[in-house]
Amino acid sequence: MTIPFSFELRDTLRAHLAATGASKAELARACGLNEGAVAKILRNPSYVPPARVMEALEAGLGVPLPSPFQRKTRTWRQISDELAAADPHDRRLSRIRWLMRNAGWTAGRKVADRQEVIDFFSRHRPATFDLAPSTWATYKSDLLGTLPAPLARTPGIRDVTGWARDTYDRIGKCRDLRDYHLVSGAFLAWMHAEGLQPSDLTEKDMLRYHDQRLASGTKTERAVKHHVQKCAALTRRIAVHPDFTDLGFPALPSPWSRPAILPGEAEIAPLMEEFDTRVAPWLLGERSASGETRATFLARLDAASPAKTGAAAGPRDLQSVLSRLRGESGTKGVHQRPMDEDEAAAAGFLTRNRTWAASTVASYRKSLAAFARRLAIEEGIVCPSLREATEPDVVEAMVLLTLRDNPDAEGFGSAYPSTFLGRTVKVARDYARQDEKAVEKLKELASGYAPKRSGIAPRNRAKLEEFSTTRTTRFRGLATDILRDVKLEIAARRRKAHKRGEHPATVDLYDRALACQVMQAIAHDLLLARAPRSENVLAARLDQVRWRESRATLVVPAVEVKGREAGDPDLVIPLGEEQSATLRAYLDHVRPKALRPGDAANPYLFPSPKKPGAHYGALLNALCKQVHARTGAELHPHLYRHLVGWIWLKEDPDALPHVQRLLGHRSIATTMRYYAEIADQVAIDAWQKFISKEKANDPDPTAGPGVARPVPPAHASQNHAPHRDPGAIRVGGQRGAQGRTKPAARA
């Protein structure tokens, strides 16, 4: 049995580090890579470095390294020269130029790598470059055709006989395993080719299978990893299935499954126990820094208060009556005695406006655990308590370790370190009681790592800037496009039913998958109508939908809206006539198809397709995938909110007060901080239009004084473009009937 590529590569790197005494970061720098490149290879056995990383390591070490790829040293310029020498009009030349331009590569320096081309096409969609799907497929085929073919075709499951083919056929006939039928074919054929029996299969073999699939050069790394994970799940199902126990398959975990106990978990156990029992309740306002509960604190205050007697108090002492009533009411909701803010702060409690949300506490705990675990494993520094974990030098070491392995390659400036440092300042000052000098140093660290910007993050602004006029139009009509595709699928299902002699009602043709698509269309309408926050759409309930004649309105209580309290106006999201009709049809006919058996009492507008009684938590992520596929632009759910304001202000910069009301900002200064750069862009665009107009009116210097430039003839349109010099710069492309760009002409 051969050793998997990933294990052999890691052994080679470890041997070099041991012989030279260099650190992982030093070896990476010596090879011209970022400091975390070697650490990433050693930490993740399934990671397959790109060809450029392998070549840099080989050059730095001076020895050949194992690799699953047949690496080529030719650059894209060399490939272009070879193609041009054979045929100067080969259309693949223009394809290579297109790839270099859109991938940001330099033909003379970029090594041609088949896997990188596959990854480029998997990350983007045809709409990203305004291409038709058929043109997109042609581009991909032409570009892959310029590279060496992948490894020779391996025998498939239909090419083999024996136990592997019999097992494949048995899986296809088993109703419990039918979902694994197609997946099992390639896996069983590989086992047959390797001479592996089911009882011999190990986790290392699964990694070796992963390397072989990846080396074939036809799938992305993500797709290969998903395939191997499903094969591992198949072994677990077969191992316990009564019809397959005779085969002797072991129940293998996923090669990338998280171990029950992570490395370094024991070292940070005391730290995390203190966080869970002392720090988290304190951050939530439930306990003081010393661990005292609110009820105990109030009882101690009552006991320490001197009894006040007098005629006004009546026959009974008022303080004793209050103490008894407070003890009977306990700490239930509004009956809890309000604490004086100064008294609470002096006792170590966080006052109401300084407590953290539960999600913030969970996020900080996750970061703290990851940082402390890495510090213990890689540097041998163990923090037994929050006092040690919040010392400035320790915190800085945590941040530097994180930045070393996760460099900001895109140059947007991550706010992650400054966010963690800002939260640590609060814990160090108010809980760990670090001295003033240490707290000031932590503040300086947080300020030093804070991105020097305000408003929308540069990474998010770059995504918003991808929305051209064409993409904005497609974005607005997204719900209509989704519902159109649903209707087409319903029509196709009806035709199939008619061929079988069946005549089902339309509602009977819906299933859970189509119901989820209708949910995505309605969620898009809600987000477009008022730009609410994600949680207000996901957690929308049926009782929040109000009807007035044929118009629907979603009313979210003020207490559930960020920045609003009880007594503030509710968030009202009105829908138009067409959108309301879609919502009515969904509630009456489609939503029941999305419910799981026994989940008829689900209170949410968008019920979970997997968990009874819950809302559809992944709805907006699925919707964002639809946006990517149909517009070519990527965004996350919260960017929907920014995008609405962005689109409106680009069209009308004077609409700032209206955008403020739409988004629910308390101050117009908040809206201006987020969208101030739009005014600059609008001014620049207006100036460019003015310059272009003035140039058109300038006199032609070659035609004598006072003679204006000739106006292009009316027939010189996009559909009747004059012949272009092959060496001329091409601006844009011809527009097809569907608004997509046709392929460029041959060079």
Number of domain units in the chain? 5
CB 653 within 8 A of CB 661: no
pLDDT of 710 above 60: no
Is the separation of the CB atoms in 434 and 390 below 8 Å?
yes
Task: Identify the residue with better confidence: 413 or 243.
Answer: 243
Within this chain, do residues 221 and 280 fall inside the same structural domain, yes or no? Answer: no
Domain membership flag for residue 112: yes
* Residue of higher predicted confidence among 704 and 556: 556
Nearest-CA neighbor of 232 among 211, 208, 203?
203
Give the range among 226-230, 405-409, 688-692 with minimum mean pLDDT: 405-409
- Per-residue pLDDT at 298: 72
Strands, sheet with 545-548, edge to edge from the N-terminal-most edge strand: 545-548, 551-556, 571-574
**pTM for this one?**
0.65
Residue bearing the bigger pLDDT, 704 or 146: 146
Share of residues in the chain with pLDDT > 70 (%): 77
> According to the model, what pLDDT value does residue 439 have?
92
Q: What CATH number should be reported for the domain holding residue 623? A: 1.10.443
Evaluated on CA atoms 319, 320, 322, 326, the torsion sign reads positive
Whether 309 shows a pLDDT value over 60: the answer reads: no
Task: Give the Cβ contact number of residue 398 at 10 Å.
Answer: 25
Q: Is the pLDDT of residue 408 over 90?
A: no
588 and 481, same domain (yes or no): yes
Mean pLDDT of the chain: 80
Do residues 614 and 492 share a domain?
A: yes
Decide if 439 is inside a domain.
Answer: yes
Least-confidence region, from 236-245, 438-447, 458-467, 613-622: 458-467
Tell me which residue has tokens 């064409």.
Answer: 470
> According to the model, what pLDDT value does residue 705 have?
54
518 shares its domain with 634: yes
Cα 207 from Cα 5, distance rounded (Å): 9
Residues 6+ away with beta carbon under 8 Å from 224? 210, 213, 214
Looking at the structure, tell me whether residues 138 and 205 fall in a common domain: no
Looking at the structure, do residues 377 and 508 belong to the same domain, yes or no? no
331 pLDDT exceeds 70?
no
- Check: CB of residue 57 under 8 Å from CB of residue 75: no
Average pLDDT over residues 39-56: 76
Same domain, 117 and 28: no
**Alpha helices (runs of H) in 477-618, residue ranges in sequence order:** 478-499, 512-530, 534-538, 577-585, 591-594
Give the range with max mean pLDDT: 261-275, 503-517, 639-653. 503-517
Q: Give the confidence band of 318 by pLDDT, cuts at 50, 70, 90.
A: low
Q: Is the pLDDT assigned to residue 560 strictly greater than 50? A: yes
Q: Which residues contact 101 (CB under 8 A, 6 or more apart)?
A: none
Burial grade of 488 (CB within 10 A; 0-12, 13-18, 19 or more): exposed
Of 214-223, 282-291, 318-327, 638-647, highest mean pLDDT: 282-291
Q: How far apart are CA 650 and CA 508, in angstroms?
A: 44
* CATH number of domain containing 34: 1.10.260
Q: Which of 98, 99, 72, 94 is nearest to 84 (CA)?
A: 94
Q: Which residue in 339, 408, 334 sits closest to 35, CA to CA? A: 408
Instruction: For residues 582-591, give the mean pLDDT.
Output: 94
Q: What is each CA distance from 564 to 343, 528, 570, 637, 721, in whole angstroms?
A: 26, 21, 8, 21, 58
Taking the C-alpha atoms of residue 73 and residue 147, their distance in angstroms, rounded to an integer, is 11
Say which residues have a Cβ less than 8 Å from residue 580's Cβ, sequence separation at least 6: 550, 551, 552
Q: How confident is the model at residue 317 (pLDDT cuts 50, 70, 90)?
A: low
Flag whether pLDDT at 709 surpasses 60.
no
In a domain, 40, yes or no: yes
Of the candidates 592, 611, 640, which is a domain's last residue? 640
**pLDDT for the residue 43:** 75
Write down the residue that tokens 């996750």 correspond to: 366
Give the three-state DSSP class for 521: helix
Amino acid letter at 33?
Answer: L
Residue 524 has pLDDT above 90, yes or no: yes
Angle at 513 between CA 507 and CA 518, to 5 degrees: 65
Q: CA-to-CA distance for 217 and 471, rounded, in angstroms?
A: 33
| The one-letter amino acid at 743 | P
pLDDT at 156: 82
pLDDT band at 321 (very low <50, low <70, confident <90, very high): low
Within its chain, how far is the Cα of 260 from the centroid? 25
pLDDT band at 7; cut points 50, 70, 90? low
Q: Check residue 107 and report its DSSP letter.
A: T
Q: In angstroms, rounded to a whole number, what is the distance separating the alpha carbons of residues 269 and 373?
A: 10
Confirm whether 151 is domain-assigned.
Answer: no
The pLDDT of residue 122 is 87
| Residue 405 scores a pLDDT above 70 | no
Contact 560, 539 (CB under 8 A): yes
Whether pLDDT at 715 is above 50: no
235: confidence class by pLDDT, cuts 50, 70, 90: very high
Domain that holds residue 607: 467-640
Task: Please give the helix or strand (H or E) that residue 573 lies within, else none.
Answer: strand 571-574
Domain membership of residue 737 (yes or no) is no
545: nearest Cα among 596, 484, 597, 586: 586
Report the alpha-carbon angle 4-8-12, nearest 5. 170
Per-residue confidence band for 32, with pLDDT thresholds at 50, 70 and 90:
confident
* HEC assignment per residue over 360-397: HHHHHHHHHHHHHHHHHHHHCCCCCCHHHHCCHHHHHH
Residue that finishes a domain, picked among 418, 452, 486: 452
Residues 290 and 231 occupy one common structural domain: no
DSSP for 698-723 reads SB-TTS-TTPBPPPPPTT-SGGGPPP
Could you list the beta-strand ranges (E) of 49-114. none
**743 — pLDDT class (breaks 50, 70, 90):** very low
Residue 72 confidence (pLDDT): 53
Neighbours of 262 (CB within 10 A): 13
**pLDDT reading at 328 higher than 70:** no
- Confidence at residue 642, expressed as pLDDT on a 0 to 100 scale: 82
The H-assigned helical ranges of 632-744 are 637-651, 656-663, 668-697
Q: In whole angstroms, what is the distance from residue 159 CA to residue 372 CA?
A: 52
Using H for helix, E for strand and C for coil, what is the string for 162-204? CHHHHHHHHHHHCHHHHHHHHHHHHHHHHHHHHCCCHHHCCHH
Residue 538 shares a structural domain with residue 436 = no
**Is 129 inside any structural domain?**
yes
Q: Does 202 share its domain with 131?
A: no
Residues 114 and 236 in one domain: no
Rounded to an integer, the average pLDDT of 633-653 is: 81
Domain for residue 393, yes or no?
yes
> For position 57, what pLDDT does the model report?
86
pLDDT class for 661, splitting at 50, 70, 90? Answer: confident
**Higher local confidence (pLDDT), 530 or 721:** 530
**Phi and psi angles of residue 147, each rounded to the nearest 5 degrees, phi first:** -105, 160
How far apart CA 317 and CA 57 sit, in angstroms, is 83
In a domain, 691, yes or no: no
| DSSP labels, 215-282 | HTSSS-HHHHHHHHHHHHHHHHHHHH-TTTGGG----PPPTTPPPSS-TTHHHHHHHHHHIIIIIHHH
| Structure-model confidence comparison of residues 740 and 684, the more confident one | 684
Lowest pLDDT segment from 100-109, 180-189, 207-216, 606-615: 207-216
26 and 99, same domain (yes or no)? no
pLDDT digits (tens, 9 = 90+) for 237-246: 999 999 998 8
Cα–Cα distance, 314 to 128 (Å, whole number): 80
Q: How far, in Å, CA of 185 to CA of 190, rounded?
A: 9
φ and ψ at 155, to 5 degrees? -60, 135
**What pLDDT shows up at residue 342?**
72
How high is the pLDDT of residue 744?
Answer: 44
Whole-number CA gyration radius for the chain: 32
Residue 545 host element (H or E): strand 545-548
Q: Once rounded to an integer, what is the mean pLDDT over residues 29-46?
A: 79
Joined together, the tokens standing for residue 22 give: 């260099």
Give residue 61's pLDDT: 84
Q: Is 243:174 a contact under the CB 8 Å cutoff?
A: yes
Burial 506-527 (b: 16+ CB within 10 A, else e): eeebbeeebbbbbbbbbbbbbb
Final residue of a structural domain among 115, 146, 177: 146
